[in-house]
Copies of this chain bind each other. A is one copy, B any other.
Amino acid sequence: MAVHIDACQYKIMNISKTTCCAPLLSGGLTPDEAVNLAAIFRVLGEPARLQMLSLIATQPNQEVCACELAAPLGLAQPTVSHHLKVMHQAGLLERERRGTWIYYRILPEKLAMLRTSLA
């Protein structure tokens, strides 16, 4: 059975593999780098996802169970699952299964990489 991956997801999956990124203001951004970098910014270009990151950051253990996100965000469970998947594939979150639950943590290196890309 073939796994279906659309163009956008494939693009996002490649992000984690790329070392990325020539600082924007230093110039010389290649078209490929632009595509990869833009894909990550597009992931952040969604209020619900930013609030998820903020919520995770406020937790004492810096992690959150997926089941805890739907209520404060006012979103349906599949929507939360979708956003978590997008951010995980973009390399912004790491996930760990503990029993029935799945916990997500922020990968600060990815955010640091974005910060330098804006320098």
Contact = CB atoms under 8 A, between A and B. Distances in A.
Interface of A: 22, 24-29, 31, 34-35, 37-39, 41-51, 53-55, 57-58, 106, 108, 111-112, 114-115, 118-119
A42 B43 CA distance: 8
The DSSP consensus for interface residues of chain A is helix
Contacts of A49: 38
A91 to B, nearest CB: 14
A43 B31 CA distance: 17
Contacts of A22: 54
Given A29-B54, A41-B42, 16 more contacts: A24-B54, A25-B53, A25-B111, A28-B54, A28-B58, A29-B50, A31-B47, A34-B48, A34-B54, A39-B45, A41-B44, A41-B50, A42-B42, A43-B45, A111-B119, A114-B118
